[in-house]
Structure 1
Amino acid sequence: MKKALWMVPVAAAGVAAARRAGATRHSDDRAGDRWLTVTVNRPTADVRQDGKLPDALQRLAEEIDVRVRPAPGDRGTELAARFKEPVSAVSTSVPGRLAGRDPRQELRRALRDAKALLEAGEVLRPDAPPTTRPTPGGKLIELLGRRSGGEGVL
């Protein structure tokens, strides 16, 4: 019982920190000026060859601004993208994100795919499910995996 008592203030502090971080994140999203960035372990010249975007970002080229610059500390290249037009609040709401209608999910996926293509030469995907029969834990993991696939985080 004594071991469980220390968890109450820790949980309360965690909830308060998450609320503060969430409020900051949502105010940044409303500005419509948020850059989504990945660091690619390649020289800048390899990232934007012949002035063209990586193939994964090319299909969104009309809708996004892309910025390519050296990463701090000579650690590769920063590849950043954002939408030219602000994203609607309805599509970025929690129901919109859970339903997969948030256009930022597609941009995040395109950035991850571009990074994988530039670094490894291919986008790696799992071949088969880890189990042959669905289990309750596996269903939960699948749900969380679908959610994180578009957002980048759970």
Structure 2
Amino acid sequence: MKRAVLGAVSLGGIGLGVMRWRSSRRSKARTRREAARWLMVTINRRPEEVLAEGRLPEPLARLGDTVEVRVREAPGGRGTELGARPLAGVPTGATQVLARLGGEDPRQAVRRALRESKCLMETGEVLLPDAPPRTRPTPAGRILDLAVQRAGGEGRL
């Protein structure tokens, strides 16, 4: 009986090791693809309005030559797709985690600039959440507040 249990545990350990090795190979390739991908937003304006006088919206213009920008008409005539990606090398692996936690990941600045550009073009100002919130904090709400604070530059596009 001991041999059967020991054999099962050994096979499980070997199987787990093989799965971790295969997933690490896949995640490295995925990380390289994600680092070079375009970050996009759709703005409910015509391309001529987005690139008024041939200038980029101010939040993207602030990033200067550190980003590559793409502007094109959205499919179906539904506005303009505004895309950007950092030109500098994007950290991967453990350095990526440290860069994100420290707010030094170049993708965070690009995401923030795209969100702010969309807000400016559609509403005329950068919209921010009300602070402080008007509700009483709960234990679950405190956890959510911590997650929101750590998400700093990430957010959804």
Same fold (TM over 0.5): yes
C-alpha deviation, 1:39, in angstroms: 0.6
TM-score normalised by L of structure 2: 0.72
What is the match of residue 33 of structure 2?
28
Root-mean-square deviation (Å): 2.5
What is the match of residue 102 of structure 2?
99
After superposing on structure 2, the runs of 4+ consecutive aligned residues of structure 1 that deviate more than 6 Å are none
C-alpha deviation, 1:101, in angstroms: 1.9
- Give a deviation string over 1:18-44, Cα, whole Å, max 9, x none: x79x83641313xx4321111101000
Pair member with larger Rg: 2
Asked if residue 47 in structure 1 is aligned to residue 38 in structure 2, the reply is no
Please give the alpha-carbon distance, in whole angstroms, between the structure 2 residues aligned to 1:74 and 1:92: 40
1:15-94 paired onto structure 2 within 5 Å: 23=27, 25-29=30-34, 32-89=35-92, 93-94=96-97
What is the aligned length? 132
Unpaired runs of 5+ in structure 1?
1-18
C-alpha deviation, 1:103, in angstroms: 1.6
1:91–1:82 distance in 2 versus 1, CA, 3 Å = farther
- Give a deviation string over 1:96-153, Cα, whole Å, max 9, x none: 2123221211110110000000001111112322257654323211121123342225
Unpaired runs of 5+ in structure 2?
1-22
Please give the alpha-carbon distance, in whole angstroms, between the structure 1 residues aligned to 2:83 and 2:95: 19
Identical amino acids, percent of aligned pairs: 52
What is the match of residue 126 of structure 1?
129
TM-score normalised by L of structure 1: 0.73
